[in-house]
A and B are shown apart, each in its own frame.
Chain A
Amino acid sequence: MKELVVISGKGGTGKTSLTASFAALAPNAAFADGDVDAADLHLLLAPAVRRREEFRSGHAAVLRADDCVGCGRCAALCRFEAIAPATRPGDGARVFAVDPGACEGCGVCVWNCPVRAIDFPERVCGEWFVSATRFGSLVHARLHPGAENSGKLVSLVREQAREIAKQERRDLVIVDGPPGTGCPVIAALTGASGVLVVTEPTVSGAHDLARVLELTGHFKIPTAVCINKWDLNPEQADGIEAAARAAGATPVGRVRYDKAATRAQRLGQTVVEAGPDSLADEIRAVWKNWIGTVAP
């Protein structure tokens, strides 16, 4: 079984739209939405949820204001600017409060509170789903607003998609990866059979591609590059392909700038379904070339 991951470095290059089209083109695959921060693939694949699970990760400090003596040791020790003075509602006493959005879950305040007024429950960070779509099974997730450790959730989503692919005897898993080069991207890449970077011919696209290729090179994953909206700046597109080759990646095609991609999105369809054929053919070519580089 192969696992192919689509990433972009820079956001908004059309990664999810292309991934959805690939889903329509792959005859025997399962899918994972690894962009758990801003998961959008489901908007095009219209999943029917079959299974729903809570995602828990790490712990969070919760201060019981009633038991707080206001000594401030917790705030002094916290290195994440997560604890600030507060006023206790009942008697107006000066106490302290934890900002859940800033809490790193390290436990320093919990272990060092002289009156043990801080609890440390497990943190529910989101939920994940296994769904049926018109192209095959999809594993997707929703991270709670401001929640941490999306890297672990990305790993979990990929793992579940591989598991389902195995059960359903699929030969392929396609993963819509997150943007950036940080923790969630690393979690989306490790151990993958191949990665496609969807970029655009802009100075930002070129800049971010260089950083992403450093990352895929570091993990020694066969890397292909596709330039979306290439005709916005054909010269830049040439330059990006040359830079990609120099970094050991394989250019696998270009897709033009076309408002039809937005129209398809508004219809809740992939471009290969909604057309026009001329644009869909460009995406088909990218898919064929990419598959050719990873599954000889």
Chain B
Amino acid sequence: MARSPAIAIASGKGGTGKTTVAVHLAATLLFRKQAVQYLDCDVEEPNGHLFLKPTIESSASVGIPVPVVDAARCIACGKCAEVCEFNAIAMLKKPLVFPELCHGCGACALVCPVGAIRETPRAIGVVETGRAGSIRFAQGRLNVGEPLAPPLIRAVKTRREPAAVALYDSPPGTSCPVVATVRGADFVVLVTEPTPFGLHDLALAVATLRPMGRPLGVVVNRADDDRRVQDYCQAENLPVLAELPDDRRVAETYARGELIFDRLPDWRGRFETLWARIEERT
């Protein structure tokens, strides 16, 4: 069976409607009786569950491997501290490990000449999987105060079920967590709004994602008569997949955590068209 596509939904600026687009694409696919899986990769602030209201069936701790030094074997040569790029090991009288700084690269264990370092997982968050009706659901929740999102994002993506269309809800911004989410996606939807902030951050996101070689498309949310985003897209040869009109009823529906679909049936066609435009590009 052919592998279903993975679509990443991203945005440079936060709060442009990324999660709204992602959960409604999931609902659209469900309506069309296509297998769909929603994967919330916005592990710092996972919000898709507030709208899809899934039943969580399993939860697994995700850790990164951090070193533990066997004092009996350690010859205090200091090579582990020397090789650590993240300053997570200090060579004092013996090696002292700072697990919270460790990126889990394994350099120390590899370099130790006497095999005194073994690695044990340090939990950084959880991956939860379940179902919202027929929508398959997975999300990562990063422990509050934990700086390393990409390993958890990679763990969420391992829960992907190839038979279903995967929707990756990306974190906002342009740095490493976004890159970790978008890697391996077949298509990237960038959600923006027609404001100077929206346009500026869209351009940053395009600069980040273009070199990754994934096809991109833009959704203009809360569209009004300001056409600068559309003009930018035309100049950059980026397809505008949808213009979702500014509608206070949508903002109020979102505020309550309800699907626009259920409250405003006139909106269903907009997401159907959006999906059709994504599908013809994957």
Measured CB to CB, the residues of A under 8 A from B are 8-13, 16, 37-38, 40, 43, 58-59, 77, 79-81, 101-102, 104-108, 111-112, 143, 145-148, 150-151, 178-184, 186, 200-204, 207-208, 211, 214-215, 218, 229, 232-233, 236, 257, 262, 265-266, 268
Check if B174 sits within 8 Å of A233, measured CB to CB.
no
**Contacts known (A13-B15, A186-B145); A107 close to B178, Cβ less than 8 A:** no
Number of B residues with CB within 8 Å of any CB on chain A? 59
Instruction: Please tell me which stretch of B69-77, B192-200, B268-276 contacts chain A, meaning at least 4 of its Cβ atoms lie within 8 angstroms of it.
Output: B192-200
How does the 8 Å CB contact mask read for B182-220 relative to A, with 1 for contact and 0 for none? Answer: 010000000000011100110010011001100000000
Check if A12 sits within 8 Å of B154, measured CB to CB.
no
Check if B85 sits within 8 Å of A146, measured CB to CB.
no
Residue of B nearest to A37 (CB): B173
Check if B172 sits within 8 Å of A11, measured CB to CB.
yes
Additional A-B contact list (15), CB under 8 Å, known A11-B172, A40-B196, A106-B103: A12-B14, A38-B12, A38-B172, A43-B200, A77-B110, A80-B105, A106-B107, A111-B83, A111-B107, A146-B179, A151-B147, A180-B44, A233-B255, A265-B197, A266-B195
Contacts of A200 in B (CB 8 A): 255
Measured CB to CB, the residues of B under 8 A from A are 12-16, 19, 44-45, 47, 50-51, 83, 85-86, 103-107, 110-111, 142, 144-150, 154, 171-180, 183, 195-197, 200-201, 204, 207-208, 211-212, 226, 248, 251-252, 254-257
Check if A262 sits within 8 Å of B172, measured CB to CB.
no
Contacts of B195 in A (CB 8 A): 262, 265-266
Check if A40 sits within 8 Å of B176, measured CB to CB.
no
Residue of A nearest to B199 (CB): A43
**Contacts known (A186-B145, A202-B255); A40 close to B50, Cβ less than 8 A:** no
Contacts of A58 in B (CB 8 A): 85
State A194–B212 Cα separation when bound (angstroms): 39
Indicate which residue in A105, A150, A181 contacts B142 across the interface (CB closer than 8 Å).
Answer: A181
Check if A10 sits within 8 Å of B179, measured CB to CB.
no
Check if A145 sits within 8 Å of B45, measured CB to CB.
no
Q: How far is the CB of B154 from chain A (nearest CB, A)?
A: 7
**Contacts known (A11-B13, A233-B256); A148 close to B175, Cβ less than 8 A:** yes
Check if A181 sits within 8 Å of B144, measured CB to CB.
yes
Q: Which 4 A-B pairs have the closest CB atoms?
A: A12-B15, A11-B14, A106-B105, A203-B257
Check if B255 sits within 8 Å of A232, measured CB to CB.
yes
Contacts of A202 in B (CB 8 A): 254-257
Residue of A nearest to B12 (CB): A38
Contacts of B85 in A (CB 8 A): 58-59, 105-107
Contacts of A151 in B (CB 8 A): 147
Contacts of A12 in B (CB 8 A): 13-16
State A203–B19 Cα separation when bound (angstroms): 12
State A79–B149 Cα separation when bound (angstroms): 15
